[in-house]
Amino acid sequence: MTKGTRPPGKTTVAPDVLLNIASLTALGVEGVSRLSSIVGGMNRLLQKGHYSDGVRIMIEDKKVSADIHVILKKDINIREVSRNVQKEVSRAISEMVGMEVGKINVHIEDIDY
């Protein structure tokens, strides 16, 4: 095999791996207190995707999108923290897994006082 060629075969990544990457990355962003549980009941059952506490991952056309539900710390800039969560989760998925990233939606559920 010459340098730069790949061996035959493919690599698959379990959705739980993507959920863990998104969860741990979001929790590592300054200003995020914790993840919030996703409410939904029947709506949750009808929606596509994979769920974990505070994170929903969707994979369509080899592109990963996520909804991240967070509770933020007090006295922070909500817009800045939200953008940092989007940027860091997108970067982590792209760098660690090599998949293309679509939308990263951040839902601010509460502020910890």
pLDDT of residue 84: 98
What backbone torsions phi and psi does residue 35 show, to the nearest 5 degrees?
Answer: -90, 150
Q: What is the pLDDT of residue 101?
A: 96
Q: Tell me: the pLDDT tens digits for 43-56? A: 444 556 677 789 99
φ/ψ of residue 87, rounded to 5: -65, -45
Q: How many domains are there within the chain?
A: 1
Task: Check residue 13 and give its pLDDT.
Answer: 87
pLDDT band at 42 (very low <50, low <70, confident <90, very high): very low
Q: Which residue has the tokens 């800039």?
A: 77
Tokens encoding 20: 């863990």
Q: pTM for the full model?
A: 0.83
Residue 2, in any domain of the structure? no
Full residue range of the structural domain in which residue 85 is found: 15-112
Kindly state whether residue 36 falls inside one of the protein's structural domains. Answer: yes
pLDDT in tens, 11-20: 888 889 999 9
In a domain, 9, yes or no: no
What CATH code is carried by the domain that includes residue 71? 3.30.70.1350
**C-alpha torsion 79→85→88→92, nearest 10:** -160
Helix (H, G, I), strand (E, B) or coil at 71: strand
Q: What is the pLDDT of residues 76-97, one digit of tens each?
A: 999 999 999 999 999 999 999 9
